[in-house]
Amino acid sequence: MYNYGNEQQTKTTSVFNGFHQMAGGGDPKWQKDATDQNFDYMFKLLIIGNSSVGKTSFLFRYADDSFTSAFVSTVGIDFKVKTVFRHDKRVKLQIWDTAGQERYRTITTAYYRGAMGFILMYDITNEESFNSVQDWITQIKTYSWDNAQVILVGNKCDMEDERVISFERGKQLADQLGVEFFETSAKENINVKNVFERLVDIICDKMSESLDSDPAMVGGAPKGQRLTDQPQGTPNTNCNC
Amino acid sequence: MANEEVFDDDFYQEDFSTASEFEAFISRLGDIFETYEVVDEEALSSNELSLCEWTEETEDIMFNDFNLSVIRYKAKIKPRETESSKAINQVFQDLTSQENDYSLLDMNYLKHDYEVLNAPKSPNIHPVAVFYGLRDFVVLKSKRKPLMDISQMKLLQSSLSLAINESKCKIPAFIQVLYHEQDVFLGIYDAGEQRLSFDIAHLKTAPPSCKYLSGLLDMFKGKIGVNYINPVMVSVCLTYSLKNFLSATYSSDKKNENDDWDVVDFINVISSLPFGVSADPVNELILYTKWPQVSENVVFDSQTYSDFNPINAQKWSIRTRFDYSPVCYLADMLHEYLTLTESPEALSEYYNFLSSKARISEAQNPFSALTDSRIPGFSGMSLLDGSYTIDGPLNEHQLGKMFQYLLPDEDDEKKFAYGDLKDEPFNPQKIKSAIPDSLVHRLSILLANIYTSYSGRRGVAQFWAEFSQKMRERVDKCMRIPGVANGFPDMRSCLLHQKLQMLNICMERRNIREGKLPFAMQLLAQQHEGPSSLGKTDSDDEFFDCDDDRVVDEEEHAHQSPWNPVGRISKLGKMLLIDSDEPLYIPVTQDPVPKTEDELEDDAEMLLNVTDSGLRAQLMSASLLSDMESFKAANPIGKLEDFIRWYSPRDWIEEDTDERDPFGRKGHLSDRMMIPGNTWQTVWQTAKPVPARRQKRLFDDTKEAEKVLHFLESQTLGSIGQLTVAPLFHTSLIKIQKESENVKDFIPNYKEMEDKLKQNCCTLSREKWNTSKGMSKKKWEMVINDTSEMELSINQARSILKKLYPDKTDFNDDDKKLLNSLMKCYDTELGEGAKNDIGVRVMYMFNLARATQNEQRVEDHSWTLPDPIEKQFTLRLSGNTVNQGMGGPQFLRAILSSNEFRLCGAFSQNTTFTYST
């Protein structure tokens, strides 16, 4: 269970064969990956939730398999990129990590558009962060496209002594919202990878569903999902000399 | 051992059983027949063969030099809920039943191949099923050249007969002969004692003896040669056609293509989308008068006298025939407008002042925009002086009218004022365009009208140039753009709408910066004072525009009195600053920075290209710095801890001791805030106490407004088209919804069509325009097919209403059922025959048409119908014969029309030659 970021052990999950570990933050290697066009799909994911529920730790655990008790509180928005394999397709995940402070709402909600999946996180030791889940859902509904998939995550489940939100309450809320639910611990590396894998899976399902429903209308869709594609037809504001 | 095997092979290769090609063919055919499973089913219900699905099984077979297909046609009959007795012989039963005598579908009409869009597909019911009412049969059909030679037909017929005998084939088998489109079939069915032979005669004109029932009866009886106890049962159908609808002809409002636009109500035409069809989509109304089952001895029909007076017919039914070729105006316009999206010409090719160098450098260099924008003589200003001209095909009067509609607040009458622009509640199928009837929608309607029915590309260029200058003018005068949603650029709306929202925000920010009232309050003030000089440029304002000086001024100010708090909003609860008894004040902060989606994409792109996450944090920290400076200005002795208590309360850990400080002062920063050298600390250290209004603006409204104006001016004609395609389709959808209100209840599959259109518009509106291989254009063109289908259906429905319900507006369920059936071109029965209201109306139309043709007045009492276009007689005999026991069914159908005569016979013969006594 623990330390399954290790290459050999990832083989246990059939879907994610050949899982690639990305090097840490400053390493030029992953930087190269940020502009790498060699992938079949690109999913833009967002991690949202109140301040200090552990969004950044969660992302670092997933992307770098590292944990520090204190990450610098995210200013505005940041991201990490990770490429995974699903059904022999390279899926590039562009995961945006957001600041939870109220003051950053306008900046972060602007990034909701085009996000295909959300990880909505609360802290099981913090009642307020749980109470805000409904607000965050409203934000998603307001600012994202309708087909965005959401997973509710109760983080810090290693801190059993300080728990104030029971698993049942989380599960109940998730059912009510019609989303999937996980309790996780970035510190103990519990369910972190599962959350991402599940999210990628439901996005893929949703995508093939819409491809099935009207193939003519989506012709050539996958590549069109790339955020990095140069906007075509949208006039360039700066040059026309 | 090996030798023996070779011997075996040789032995089997020499197949003595199928010596000739003829025998091989029969054997192969028999093999195919043997694979057919035949299940006895229930009796057919009325029109079941027309409504059910059909399956086809095809096998290929060679006969001489003919490539034949052996196709089995079988109706998928749904099992009945209530068990009823099964027939002794299904074929006999079907042949004697009159439930499927007349096809619900318009066979005469549908069997042609239509190339026209929206035309219905050919039905899959086979002519044999229509002629004989059979549900299960097999047809041998030559693949290419028709079977014309009599001797070959005979040969094939006898082989078929042999194959049927050998394989005990339980279903009738037919050979298609002569030209395929003649639908002539010869068939055999073997049912033990009885043998049925099917025969079709197809002629151009009917022999005189076959024109009336009396002659047909004679022929029928002569052919049978056996006397039955029962009389012949006759089913008659007389068909009448009405093509001249006179005042009931449906026409759409004219498109005004050639009209002088100044004569017609110009603004009404240019501000609405066309809708309608170029010709009446209902081009024929068919009336059937039927006598479903009468005995031969109660009716008489000959050249001199006939009992078949249509007025007295037992059943009346009608059918519509549609013309699928009319042009649908709305779809046609959309189609034409899409061609605009491929125009490469830049606006500046028409109006080169838009590409003046000054303008471009200004857009690229924000500082020049800041410093120069108010200097008179600059190109932007000179435009306002009226010294510019935007020549084009649209005259001043027309432009004036259009802008009255687009920017109604500039017009004194305010005839076209925008309503309350409330966004619809959450809608997952939201089309990325703008709020209905908002400026962007009106703009796209105007552009589409200008482009498609007035002045083409030049007109679009002129109008857009004029529009972008209007926008520039309004920005200069700080006049809010009407018909645009409030607030930050809404990413769920189209880019053009976001850009206009951005302009409004820029002006709003400038207003506030210059100490004027925000727009919302201006409006209130205006209402109190009446029209005032609001919006006129105040020359005094210009002094407040220089930022650099103010920063210096502020620094001096800060130095002079570092402890003077400035820019406070209110106290934060009961909180006191740490190590002091001063209250903690919430500072006035700079407003968040609005962005349009293209700018956000650029931002995201930039972030993605920054390697170092520390650097990214630094990039993101501009607003943090601004907030910290504001905080310091409002709380001169405040510390980072105090800032965090306000800004990120979760990072302030209150000490959980017995004596809790009621003012929240006891505690410490969270671990992450104490990481040495973290962004929060470093920014705090560099932050100076500067109130928000004196800080460097995070959002430079002047520059942003100029960016938007440049965006508008630097479009190509193609990109103007692309920007407005989604709103135009959105307004078209709304138009269709509005137009369909009275008729959607009985348009078949209306809901499905509408949902599909909505969904496709929604999907495409969110996609980026893709010019390669005209990808996006092609996708939108597919949406036009949906649009034209709906437009045509709505007009078909209206045309039917005009003809059958000229004065009625609300319809009961029976009416709706009838209309729905007519929309499907079904043979639709009218209750009570000629006495039915619709029947009376149809009769009236027939008589009106005849009277007009003969230049007579319509007489109330002399209502008659014209000559039928088709007569159909179906003669049936079954039951016991006079002296040969139980007889097989005998069947003859005669179809007489002006250019075609067809006899379909099915005669049974007793094959055992046993005579019962």
10-residue stretch averages of pLDDT, chain B, 917 residues long: 49 58 85 87 84 89 84 87 69 86 75 58 81 92 86 88 87 91 90 88 90 92 88 93 87 57 69 90 92 90 89 91 88 94 87 58 42 39 50 85 88 77 68 90 95 87 93 92 90 92 93 80 63 41 39 44 74 84 90 89 87 82 91 91 91 76 80 88 92 88 93 92 95 93 90 91 87 86 91 93 86 89 89 82 88 73 81 91 83 91 91 54
pLDDT of residue A231: 35
pLDDT of residue B117: 61
CB–CB contact B719 A235 (8 Å): yes
Mutate which of A142, A228, A240 to test chain B, going by most B C-beta atoms within 10 A? A240
CB–CB contact B650 A78 (8 Å): no
CB–CB contact B768 A143 (8 Å): no
Decide if B772 touches A, using CB distance below 8 A: yes
CB–CB contact A110 B710 (8 Å): no
pLDDT of residue B220: 92
pLDDT of residue B14: 55
Closest partner CB to A25 (pick from B613, B674, B766): B613
Closest CA to B490 of B434, B436, B533: B434
Chain B residues close to A50, C-beta within 8 Å: 650
Closest partner CB to A35 (pick from B607, B609, B672): B609
Q: Establish, for the pair of chains A and B, how many residue pairs have beta carbons separated by less than 8 Å.
A: 158
Tokens of residue B391, six digits = 């020549």
Domain spans in chain B, listed from the N-terminal domain onward = 18-191, 334-351+390-531+702-739, 554-697
As a whole number of angstroms, the distance between CA B104 and CA B824 comes to 10
What's B530-554 look like in SS3? CCCCCCCCCHHHHHHHCHHHHHHHH
Decide if B760 touches A, using CB distance below 8 A: yes
Chain B residues close to A126, C-beta within 8 Å: 650
pLDDT of residue B541: 38
Chain B residues close to A107, C-beta within 8 Å: 592-593, 620, 623
pLDDT of residue A59: 94
Closest CA to B519 of B508, B527, B530: B508
Alpha-carbon distance A225 to nearest alpha carbon in chain B (angstroms): 9
Scan for tokens 């039917």, then name that residue. B800
Distances (CA, A) of B270 to B178, B256, B262, B443, B547: 58, 10, 11, 11, 45
pLDDT of residue B424: 64
Decide if B600 touches A, using CB distance below 8 A: yes
Decide if B706 touches A, using CB distance below 8 A: no
Alpha-carbon distance A234 to nearest alpha carbon in chain B (angstroms): 7
Alpha-carbon distance A14 to nearest alpha carbon in chain B (angstroms): 30
Contact assessment for residue A121 and residue A58, using Cβ atoms and an 8 Å cutoff: yes
Please report the residues numbered 616 through 645 in chain B whose beta carbons come closer than 8 angstroms to any beta carbon of chain A.
616-617, 620-621, 623-624, 627
CB–CB contact A51 B650 (8 Å): yes
Across residues A74-88, what is the average pLDDT? 88
Scan for tokens 């407005």, then name that residue. B724
Decide if B438 touches A, using CB distance below 8 A: no
CB–CB contact B679 A79 (8 Å): no
Closest chain A CA to residue B344: A233
pLDDT of residue B869: 92
The ipTM is 0.74
Alpha-carbon distance A156 to nearest alpha carbon in chain B (angstroms): 15
Closest chain A CA to residue B756: A214
Closest partner CB to A237 (pick from B600, B605, B710): B710
**pLDDT, tens only, B551-605:** 444 444 444 445 678 888 888 888 888 888 888 999 999 888 899 999 988 888 8
CB–CB contact A70 B671 (8 Å): yes
Alpha helix (H) residue ranges in B483-621: 495-513, 519-529, 547-560, 597-609, 613-620
Closest chain A CA to residue B489: A110
Please report the residues numbered 478 through 517 in chain B whose beta carbons come closer than 8 angstroms to any beta carbon of chain A.
488, 491-492, 495
Alpha-carbon distance A181 to nearest alpha carbon in chain B (angstroms): 23
Backbone angles phi, psi at B145, to 5 degrees: -75, 140
Residue type (1 letter), B695:
Q
Q: Up-side HSE of residue B815: CA atoms within 13 Å toward CB?
A: 15
Closest chain A CA to residue B718: A233
Distances (CA, A) of B691 to B370, B564, B621, B640: 22, 11, 17, 17
As a whole number of angstroms, the distance between CA B748 and CA B610 comes to 57
Contact assessment for residue A240 and residue B714, using Cβ atoms and an 8 Å cutoff: yes
